[in-house]
């Protein structure tokens, strides 16, 4: 079995092992392959039977050029970079890793909120720059500190990650409201389901944990921002296109949104002219909510299980 990994660096920059895949066949790993359609993609796949990707696109044209492909294994949950409908028509399963980082993404979401509320990074930099040593007072702060206890948080999208985030917030004495088209018993145990307009109007903090669907694309826009409390804080470590970035920029500049923390943006890597890079009170991190070593090891092991299941004739985690 020939296995080719087209963009393996973000999954494994060298701190974990490819051994779970290597026991299954002959593995070739490329750190990076183009994130846009490129003839090199098909060239590198060659006669491989298993294609492992993260964000390198697999198009109809690539599939046609590589007739040996038996499965396309994605090192992630999202699989929109694959022409999965065409793959299905050719009898090629597309497999993803549906669950691997629930705890990590929730941890990161709440960490983003705490950074906004406590400004730990900025004050650490201030101390190391000598400001405390040269200060006439025994303490100082450059930003208003916000106590989260007693506040209300709204979670848009109360799936596994949303539920986990709600549990953390409730432990911090934060009231949690949630909006989701599909309600669950797990969700009801940790949050009060409300309509979107009510969530927007009542919450001090808003977390985005929903998938990107036509119904959720641009859900944070000028009309919905206008319904929010003045001084709201927005956290998004789900999908960048959930936010209309120009509208968020204007809300940050006006103070309607007091601060935003984003681990995702509309185009990734971020473009140099992304307007949010110029926004006030906007933290942006490079899509790393998922990237703990523990989570990446789970991705590796599940991907190996996916490939083994194809070899056994009973594919699992098939999304097409």
Active site residues: 239, 268, 287
Task: Decide the pairing of beta strands 94-95 and 257-262.
Answer: unpaired
What six digits make up the tokens of 224? 């919905």
92, 221 Cβ separation under 8 angstroms? no
Structure-token match 């985690």, residue found: 317
Which CA distances in Å does 89 have to 48, 61, 127? 19, 13, 60
Question: For residues 51 and 76, what is the distance between their CA atoms, to the nearest angstrom?
Answer: 13
Closest to 106 in 3D by CA, of 237, 15, 198: 237
Side-chain half-sphere exposure of 261, counting CA atoms within 13 A = 19
Beta strands in 181-281 (DSSP E): 192-193, 205-208, 232-236, 257-262
What six digits make up the tokens of 278? 């110029």
Total residues found in the chain within this entry: 320
Q: Is 130 helix (H, G, I), strand (E, B) or coil?
A: coil
Question: For residues 160 and 166, what is the distance between their CA atoms, to the nearest angstrom?
Answer: 10
What six digits make up the tokens of 303? 């991907």
């Amino acid at each position: 079995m020939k296995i080719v990994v087209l963009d393996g660096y973000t999954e494994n920059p060298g701190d974990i092992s490819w051994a779970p895949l290597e026991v299954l066949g002959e593995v070739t790993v490329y750190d990076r392959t183009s994130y846009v359609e490129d003839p090199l993609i098909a060239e590198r796949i060659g006669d491989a039977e298993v294609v492992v990707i993260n964000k390198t696109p697999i198009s109809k044209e690539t599939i046609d050029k590589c007739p040996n492909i038996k499965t396309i294994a994605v090192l992630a949950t999202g699989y929109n970079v694959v022409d999965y409908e065409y793959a299905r028509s050719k009898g090629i399963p597309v497999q993803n890793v549906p669950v691997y980082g629930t705890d990590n993404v929730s941890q990161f979401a709440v960490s983003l909120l705490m950074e906004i509320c406590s400004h730990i990074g900025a004050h650490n930099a201030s101390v190391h720059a000598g400001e405390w040593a040269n200060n006439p007072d025994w303490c100082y702060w450059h930003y208003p500190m916000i106590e989260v206890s007693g506040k209300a948080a709204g979670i848009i999208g109360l799936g596994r990650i949303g539920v986990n985030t709600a549990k953390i917030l409730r432990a911090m004495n934060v009231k949690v409201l949630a909006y989701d088209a599909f309600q669950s018993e797990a969700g009801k145990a940790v949050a009060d389901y409300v309509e979107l307009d009510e969530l927007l109007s009542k919450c001090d903090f808003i977390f985005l944990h929903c998938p990107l669907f036509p119904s959720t694309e641009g859900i944070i826009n000028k009309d919905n921002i206008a319904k929010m409390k003045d001084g709201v804080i927005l956290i998004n470590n789900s999908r960048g296109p959930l936010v209309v970035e120009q509208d968020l920029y204007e809300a940050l500049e006006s103070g309607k949104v007091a601060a935003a923390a984003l681990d995702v943006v509309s185009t990734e890597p971020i473009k140099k002219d992304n307007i949010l890079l110029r926004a006030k009170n906007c933290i942006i991190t490079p899509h790393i909510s998922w990237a703990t070593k523990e989570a990446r090891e789970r991705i590796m092991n599940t991907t190996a299980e996916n490939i083994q299941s194809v070899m056994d004739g009973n594919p699992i985690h098939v999304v097409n």
